[in-house]
Structure 1
Amino acid sequence: MADIPSTARPRSNAARVCTILGFVFAVLALFLSPLLFGVLGVILGIVGAVLGDKPLGWYAAAASVLGAIIGFVIAAAILNS
């Protein structure tokens, strides 16, 4: 059998760090600044996925979007009550 070269990048430490920070910023988007931390979390999640941490990087980006949306809802509920 012939070896087929893989086009997927190997996961690096930088990819894992970006992914973890993406999840941390997703949580911070809930309570501190949804716009700032949501955008940073999405960027870091995408960078982590591109650098090789495929499934978790995309999950971090999605969690950051969700965290930002929920953060805006919480802020609106607090400000309107």
Structure 2
Amino acid sequence: MADMHATARPRSNAARICTIIAFVFAVIAIFFLPPLFGLVGLVLGIVGAVMGDKPLGWYAAAASVAGAIIGMIIGYAILNS
């Protein structure tokens, strides 16, 4: 019987590092320059997922987008209050 995971890429240290940095940028995007850090976190999360850190890479990409959106909403609320 063929191995179902034969085509999956093994997770590398670089993939895990990209994913961790993407999560850090997601948190930073809430407080400082949301569009910039959110976009960089999104790219790093996708890179981490493509390099083999599948579930966490996609979660990091989604968290970066959510962090950017939350950061922009908070910035808008602070500037218009």
Deviations 1:41-72 (A, max 9, x none): 00000000000000000000000000000000
Cα drift, residue 4 of structure 1: 5.7
CA distance in 2, matches of 1:62, 1:78: 24
Equivalenced residues, count: 81
Cα RMSD (Å): 1.2
SS at match of 1:8: coil
Aligned positions of 1:55-70 closer than 5 A: 55-70=55-70
Unpaired segments of 5 or more residues in structure 2?
none
Q: Given the two structures, how large is their TM-score scaled by the length of structure 2?
A: 0.95
CA distance in 2, matches of 1:3, 1:74: 48
Distance 1:54 1:19 in 2: 10
- Equivalences for residues 1-81 of structure 1 within 5 A: 1-3=1-3, 6-81=6-81
Query: Larger deviation: 3-12 or 62-71?
Result: 3-12
**Shift in Å at residue 78 of structure 1?**
0.3
Q: What percentage of residue pairs aligned between the two structures are identical?
A: 74
Whichever residue aligns with residue 21 of structure 2, its letter is: L
